Each structure stands twice: as structure tokens, then as C-alpha cells.
Amino acid sequence: MRARGMEMASKDCVQVAVRVRPFNKRERDAGSRCIISITSNNISIQDPRNPQNSRTFTFDYTYWSHSGFSRNKDGLFVSEETGGRYADQASVFLDLGQGIHDNALLGYNATLLAYGQTGSGKSYSMVGYGPNKGLIPTLCDRLFQSIKSMQDSRQCQVFFSMLEIYNEQVLDLLSKTSRSAGGLRVREDQQRGFYVEGLRRVPCDCAAQVEQLMEQGTRTRTTVATHMNANSSRSHMLIIIQLKQIFSKECITKQSNIYLVDLAGSERQRSSGSEADRLKEGTAINLSLTTLGNVISALADMALGKKVVHIPYRDSVLTKLLQSALGGNSRTVMIATLSPADICYEESLSTLRYAERAKRIQNKAVVNESPTERLVKELKAENAKLVLRLSRLGQEGRKADDETKELRRLLTHNELQIRAIQTLWEQHLQEALKDWENQYATITQERRMMQMHPYIMNINEDAQLSGVVKLFIQEGEWDIGLADNSPRSLCIRGLGIQDKHAVFSNQQRRVSITPVAGSKVIVNGVPVSKRIELQHLDRLVLGSNSTYLFIGFPSERSGMDWSRYDYDYFQSELAAAEGFHIQSLCDDQGPHQPDPSLLAVFYDYIKLMPMVTEANQMSKELKKGVEFKLEIKNLAMSDSKGHDLEKDIAVRVTSVESKQVWMWSKAKFVNRKFLMEEVYQQQVVGGEGADRAPLPRDRDPFWDPLEPLHLGSAHLWLQSLAFRIPLEEQVDVVGPEGTEEAILQAQLVPCSPTGLPLGEDDILIDPSELLGKRLDFQLVLDQCCGLRWVKEARNRGVQIGFQVFDCPQPLYTPAVWHNVNPLLDHRIQFTALRTSQELLNFLQSNALVLELWGLQEGCSELVSSMDGVKMTQEDSIIIDKINASEHLTAETGGSDLSSSLRALHQDLEQLRNSNAALRKENSALREQLNSARNGVENNRGRQERRGSLRPSCDAEFAKALKVFYHSMTSVRGQLQRLRRHKPSEEADMLGLRLFVDEHTYLLKDFSEQLEQCVTTLKQDVAAIVRRKREKSGIWS
């Protein structure tokens, strides 16, 4: 499964590893299924919706960390069995980290990239948690151990830098000064390549210092993310370790740059082309990750021998800094992390494809020589020449005082430069040690406070950033909010945080919080407006989405582990408070395995909840007058067969003043959210709101042109058409979340080619009689009643859309405006020239889906496109076109040779069959001729009576079936009402009893109607059979 790390030093191809993590709590609670398997270096992923469809990929290293492990007494996760396949942190480092370590000591640049969706285990693999140290801390430990063991043969200098790239801005996470607007600049130098100007390089001489610097960088990252309202999962973190090895005896210096990169979350947005946004996709927020993908693809194509004109390194900050790592002077490893859950199938498959392209990249690594050491050698050589010239002048006895003075000045200057270069490292190291001592004192003070006082600590979407900020609640009252002008204030930043947001009180070892009027405070998922006492491990949400966990007095903690209260726990608790929780979704599915798409919707919902809250707060502060609300798309909707449609998340956007409504897909909303953040940063956080001109409407992320909205759909079942029975029905138009949007009166009328309705004599007993025959029918949409869409705002309109069988384009009724109960009076005729078995099956098992579309003033109406639609001479739309085209070809004689041949072959086969049938019939007639002569007259009379009886019986059967279908229509309506009849979420015990009584009555009514329909049909059929038996011998 794994190769030795030293083997990597002899290769220049990018090495790619894939690691599969265990299920997280959400996935376990949802009963997720593992869809990933590993065999040797091969990894397979199975499509949860189609288990027969699986993909297999091959990589340099594969790690199974999903199962087969336990925690030992030291807290380390280890394999349950000796030699088991579980890959722990040590195994991963042995393959990947050891190679990075060895290459750095050899003088090569080395890079480690971590790629995967948010929550797939990138940070655990790179940084680790608790005693399970990740690649970065373990690499630093081993590096300083090696330096200590080799200090007799060389002098080693280690510099540490840590930066973050967010929205194409570079932030120095170790900077002592305040953040500059726009971040640090990336420059290019002929010798160094791309580098970050002004990035702080901190000297280190032990692993403990590196660990402390990482904690400092993480704290800065958390604080900045809060202040900027930034999403840490969308940022890239880079750690740069510069190793300089000076070999004094050999006069050689080797210099290596180690890049350790935790890339932003790679989650794909499940969106179709129809959901493309008019504003630039992702803006700068996704630019680096997108460009990285383009660079990897271009380099992979180049490795395959394809002609590549341009590699877009310069298109983003990240790819500029990683140019040497990808196709340049570096030995590079990528670790891709996966979730094995079925609900993450699309993201995991995307990650595997990305990693597969990366493994084709080829680099050209060389050992690096330090320009600083070369300068020292050049200065020493120049000094030797100057000393030689001075000695010659003295030997010749010439009086060249001016020349001698100039030579001595140059000699002194060069010696000073050499001394400055050689003492620079020691000075930097001493400065770094002073900073480290100050930080250590601060950390010691914080740990002392944790053992004395209660406090709140931040909970972040990125687990590595959780618990970094701690605000201590000492004795007395403490104001919490934006203001920090009081000695008894706790300063926090974030959307929706007021100057004085709430007051903490610590009196007699009891801690309480009192919200200030107008501020938003949520405790354990429930909004509070008055004083409430806090208990240990209570969850607090301040403002839009500033999440904190309350840690009580030391005596209350009793060793409880707070790690289960992660960011997802907070959001799930908020969703449950809104009545949306995973248990109810799974219960609706019954005892079967929950639908993966439904679970994915739940996770999307709780992921988007804080984003929607933040978008609403930004809209409020920017005075946009727009409200955002999450909705579940297709929650109560089905396709033409009655099967549930795949669920998805949508965001309903409403203008408070004009009542205009937009529906945004998840992908579109996420894109707009980042654009809103940019506007918010410029106009509010940047302090430019007063002087800045308002955005043009076409660039405003809070606005969109109006489009028709899909309000809901109704099902008109087509089974009656297979019997040529007319159908008149009132169908409910049900919205995406199960709400009743309207009632639609519709008819299906079998008719003649000229549009005249068929009579009762045309009703069929057996639908197969339609095969090969012409079928005409009309769809009549009479009226739409009780339009909820128009009740909300009278300046709105509606249209009905539908698509019949293989009709290539949807058709729409004319728009009707300003009416809650509009008359549609729309009639359209369809024709199947030769009814096929496919059409017959469709009629017997499918419904016509009638979609209700909402219109608003300024919105363009939906227009029926007739492209690809064929019409009869009577202006009827032709469906079942494959058979129709054959029929038309037969009528016109066919100009195409193949069509003519096919028709001739069919005619020949029919003639052969007819000939064989005639011969058989002639033979039978000869044998029966004599016996049949005597009964000719009797048979003739019997045939006449049979001919008069069969149509009579057929008509009676047809009437009975027609009555049955009409009565079943009302039964189906009653069944739909039963399905939608649910108790109110706020109902008390009395309300539940009333609901049970109503439900019992509806069930009884439904049962009686159904029994009456079946009984009537039985009676009608029995009467027909009885009459047939009375005339025994007449009906054969």
C-alpha cells in the first residue's frame, strides 16, 4: 500500500496520496453508507443512486483511516489489529513527511499540498488534534532533531513564515503591525521568483517555537476572520519554512524552501447551466482555487505531450506563490482527503478527478545555492586582492597615499559587510526569543485565568480555529459588544453586534446574560430578550452568527469534553428550533434507508443558515430592503409517474417594499453572498458608506432582473385517455414545500381529428385496441381558483406550463393578471397518428404535470416555442412522433430509398402471412363444408342476434367504466387531502385531539367512497353478466 519516503527523492513527478476519514457525527446520525473502498493503491467510489456505476482511480499512496482503529492510553488512534490496514498519523508521515524532510536536507525545495472539501480531514492530516500530531508539527520535530544531530558538520538556520490568502488578499499571520488595506503585495524577482513583499520571517531554533508561532498565527486568523466576516473554509493557509545549511569546511551553503499548503474547501456547487449567475462567478473568492485547477490541467496536458500555449500562473496569488511547486523547482506531494459518506459522493468524485490530474505533473528540482553565501565568498575574494595590492604598493615604496587610503576604505567596508551578514542570524534569533518569551507569558496568564474564572470561547466552522478566543467573565458586570472604551468591557466583532450588545453578570458564583434592547442573543437555539442564567456548556449566538460556548466555573466542569459542541452542533440546534431536524426527515422516509438527497439537503440547510442570517444583516445595515429565506425545493413534489423529485435547497429573496420575489439556487446565493461581503467591507467596515456613490443596479449583488417563478405543480392522470373516456377534474396545485397554491379546473377530452368530442359508443374496453390507430384528444384548462400568489400582491399574474409525452418544448397558456380566480379558457389538441406501445404505457402510468408559474410587473412572460413541433392539417400538435413519421412516410409513398425498402419488406411479410392464413382457412372450410350446409340458416340468424348484442354489452361496460373513473376522481382527491392533513406544530393536547377526530372522519369518508365505487362497479358488471346468461347460447 505504501512506498518508502526516500524513494520520492529520485522522482520529479508530483506524488499524490488519498486519505479516507471516518464518518463524522452528522453522517453517523443520518445512517450514512460508505461508498469508498481501497485495494492496494486503487481507490473505488460507488454512485449511491446507481450502485452498478463505480469509478476506480490509482494513486501513489492510499490511506484507509475510516475504520479499524481505537484510542490507546496515550490518546493516540492506532490500528485495532497488528498489521491492520488502518493508516494512523505516523504512517502518513513516514510516506509523505519523511520525504519532504529528506529532500529539504538535500537542498531541494519541497511542497506539501492538502486538498479536499471542507470537513474532509485536511486540517487533521496537516496539523492534527491533541496527541495525534499531523504532518506539519511532526515534520518540524524531525527537522530540528536532524539539525541537532548534525550541528558538528554544519550550521543550520530556520526561518518560519505563515500567511493566509482570502479573496486574493495576502495576510501575514505573524505580523506585529496592523493589517494594511488590500493585504501584502506579491512581487517577482529574477533570482527568487514570486515572493510576498514585507512577509515576516521569524528565526527558530526549536520545534516548541514553531508550535508557538503556529498558535499565534491561528489566533490572528480567527480574529481577522471575525473582523472581516470571512469564511475560513474559503481561505488558503501557507506555512513557509526556510532551511539554510552552511558547510564551513566545504564553503557550501544549501538553502531549501518548504511550502506547507492547506487549500480552501473544494466543495462543488450542485448547479445546472440554467442557474448561471449574471454576476461574475465566485469573484475573487474562488479565483485562486479555480486557477490552481487550470494550472494543474495545463501541466497534466503538457506531461501527456499535448501542446499547451499558456500556463496561467499569473492569474491568481496562490498560483504565483506555488509556481515552483507545480512544474518548477520543487519536489511536491499532494494529499487529497475524502469523506466516504454517500451524501458527499459528488464532492468526493470531484476531489479524486482533481488529484488524478495532479499526479501527471512533472517538476524539475535542483539543489539551491544561497546568494548570501556567494556574496560572502565574493567579498572575501575581493578583500584578498585588495590586501595583495596594498602589500605590493608597500614593497615598491611608492608614495601613493591617496590610492592606499581608498584601498583600505574598501577593505574596511567589505569586512563590515561580511560581519553584518554573519551576525544577522544571531540578532534575528535574539529578537525572536524576546517575542517568544512575551507570548509565553501571555499564554501562561491565560491558562491561569482558565483555572479561576468562567469564560466564553469561540466556535468556528474550521475546528482548528475553535477555542482560540477566550473572554473571561470575572466578578461583577461586564459589557460585551463592539465598544472597548471601558475597563469592564469585552470587545467582540461580527455582523449584527451592537456597541453594547449584552451584559454578563458574575455574582455569587452565578453567571447570567442580559441582552440589550434590539440586540440578537440566542441561548441553546432559543432567542432570549431578558436576563437568563447560564449553565456550563450552554451555547450562545450573538448577533448574526458569532458563536460561543460558555465554560462554567472549574468546579462545574467535571472533566466533560466540550469537543462535541462543534459548529455543526450549533447550526443543527438552530435548525431544530425552526422545526427542521434530521430525525423528522428520516421518520418521513419510514423504516427504509433515508434518501441520500434528503440528507444532503439537511446538511446544505444547516450550512446555509448562518450565511442567510449574515446576508439579512448586511441587507439591513446597507439599507437594501431585501430579505432572504431558505426553502426546500421539491420537498412535496413528484414527477409524472408520482415519484418524488430530488430535493434541493433554494433561497427565496423578497423585496420588503415592492413585494418582488426572486428564487436563487444554492450556488447562486453562495456566489452573491461573497459579493455582498465585498460591498459590505467597502461601504461599512471601510468607513466609506457616507461618501461612496451607490452601486449601479446591474452590479448590485442584492438585485436581479425579475424572472417567472415556479410556484407549484398539479397532476392530471392520463389513464382515462387509454379508454377514450373524458375526464373533468379539479386538481390542487401544490407548492415546493407542500403548500396549496391554487385549484385548477382541467379536462381531458378524447375527440375526432376535427375536434368534436367522442361519444359513449367510442369508449374502449381494452386499451390495446388503440395500438396502431389514431388518437386525438384535447387538454382544456378552464379556470384557476384561489391563487395564493396573487392574493399576496394584486399586481401579479400567472401562466400554466405543460409538456405532453415526447413534445420537444414546454407549452404555456397566455398570461392572466391581477385576478385571484382567473378564467383561462385554454384549449389545445394533441394527435398520435399511430398509437405506439410506448405512448399507451405512458397514458396508463403517467400524469400530465401542470406547472404554475408566477409573473411580476417588469417580468417577461413565458412563450411557447414551436421549434421541432409538428402539426396536422387540423392544427393539432403531433405526439408519438416516431410512429407518426412512419405513418406519414407510408401515406406519401416515401422519397427516401431506405423508407421505400422498409415499406416493401413490410408489405411482402404481410402478403406472406395473409397467404398462409388463407390456405389454412381454405383447408378448414373444405372439411366443414358438408356439415355446415344444414345449419346455414340457423347460424345466420344467430350471427345477426350476436351482432346486435355485442355492441349493446360493450356500451353497457363502457358506461360502467365511465361512472367508475369519475367516482375514483373524487376518491383520489380525498386521498390527497388526507396526505396533506397534518397537525399544527404549535398544537396543544386539545388541538391534537381535534386533529385525530378530523383525521378519523376523513379516513371514514375515504373508505366509504372507495367501497361505494367498487360496489357500484361490481353491481354493474354482475347485471351485465346476468343478462348475458339469460340469453344463453346467443353470446358465445
The whole-number average pLDDT for the span 5-32 is: 74
Reported as type and span, the H/E element at residue 481 is strand 476-481
The whole-number average pLDDT for the span 805-819 is: 93
Residue 817 vs residue 119, higher pLDDT: 817
SS3 content of the chain, % helix, strand, coil (to 5): 40, 25, 35
Split at pLDDT 50, 70, 90, the class of 569 is confident
Residues in the chain: 1036
- Would the pLDDT of 397 be above 70? no
Exposed, middle or buried, 448 (CB in 10 Å: 0-12/13-18/19+)? exposed
- Would the pLDDT of 398 be above 70? no
pLDDT digits (tens, 9 = 90+) for 254-302: 888 999 999 887 765 444 334 556 676 555 666 787 888 888 888 888 8
Q: What gap in Å lies between CA 306 and CA 857, rounded to an integer?
A: 53
Q: Which amino acid is at 534?
A: L
User: In this prediction, what percent of the chain has a pLDDT beyond 70?
Assistant: 77
**Which residues does residue 661 pair with via DSSP β-bridges, in sequence order?**
654
- Would the pLDDT of 849 be above 80? yes
Q: Return the ∠ at Cα 249 (arms to 246 and 255), rounded to 5°.
A: 20
Of 247, 207, 199, residue with least CA distance to 101: 207
Split at pLDDT 50, 70, 90, the class of 682 is confident
Name the most confidently modeled range: 119-133, 424-438, 510-524, 995-1009: 510-524
Residue 893 vs residue 385, higher pLDDT: 385
pLDDT digits (tens, 9 = 90+) for 129-145: 889 999 999 999 999 99
Report the SS3 class of residue 166.
Answer: strand
Q: Please give the mean pLDDT across all residues of the chain.
A: 81
Q: Which residues contact 611 (CB under 8 A, 6 or more apart)?
A: 669, 670, 673
Q: Return the ∠ at Cα 146 (arms to 140 and 152), rounded to 5°.
A: 140
Q: Which residues contact 760 (CB under 8 A, 6 or more apart)?
A: 955, 958, 959, 962
What string of DSSP letters covers 668-696? HHHHHHHHHHHHHIIIIITS-TTTSPPPP
Q: What HEC string does 413-450 produce? A: HHHHHHHHHHHHHHHHHHHHHHHHHHHHHHHHHHHHHH
